[in-house]
């Protein structure tokens, strides 16, 4: 009996976490600032929380924003567009986690 309850509890946790992961995004309206390092991106939120992600192709994400504009959708999932003089690139990231 106790073993079957453990299995049911495990399945409930699995299913509930799956719905959270399926809706994994950051709302553009909640972002205060976006910062880059050579291999990571940081989203500083208006509620003072910080999210960190790993850049998949760091060369596609210019660190210095001089002459560069970023295009975000209303909900950011794993990429955004970087516009520059010669066109645009897609900056992709993964492993987004909340730090603070």
Query: How many CB atoms sit inside 10 A of residue 55's CB?
Result: 19
pLDDT tens digits for range 66-94: 788 888 889 998 998 988 888 898 999 99
Residue 62 has pLDDT above 80, yes or no: no
Cβ 84 vs Cβ 67: under 8 Å: yes
pLDDT of residue 19: 29
Could you tell me if residue 48 is left (phi over 0), alpha (psi between -120 and 50 degrees) or otherwise beta? left
pLDDT tens digits for range 7-32: 433 333 333 333 233 357 889 999 99
Cβ 42 vs Cβ 96: under 8 Å: no
pLDDT of residue 6: 38
- Tokens read off for 33: 């600032």
Calculate the alpha carbon distances from 9 to 2, 17, 48, 96 in Å: 10, 12, 33, 26
């Amino acid at each position: 009996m106790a073993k079957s309850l453990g299995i049911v509890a495990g399945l409930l946790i699995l299913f509930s976490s799956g719905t959270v992961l399926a809706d994994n995004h950051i709302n553009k309206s909640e972002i205060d600032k976006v910062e880059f390092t050579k291999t990571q991106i940081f989203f500083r939120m208006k509620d003072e929380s910080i999210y960190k992600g790993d850049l998949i192709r760091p060369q596609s994400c210019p660190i210095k924003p001089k002459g560069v504009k970023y295009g975000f959708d209303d909900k950011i999932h794993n990429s955004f567009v970087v516009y520059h003089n010669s066109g645009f690139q897609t900056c992709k990231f993964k492993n987004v986690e909340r730090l603070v």
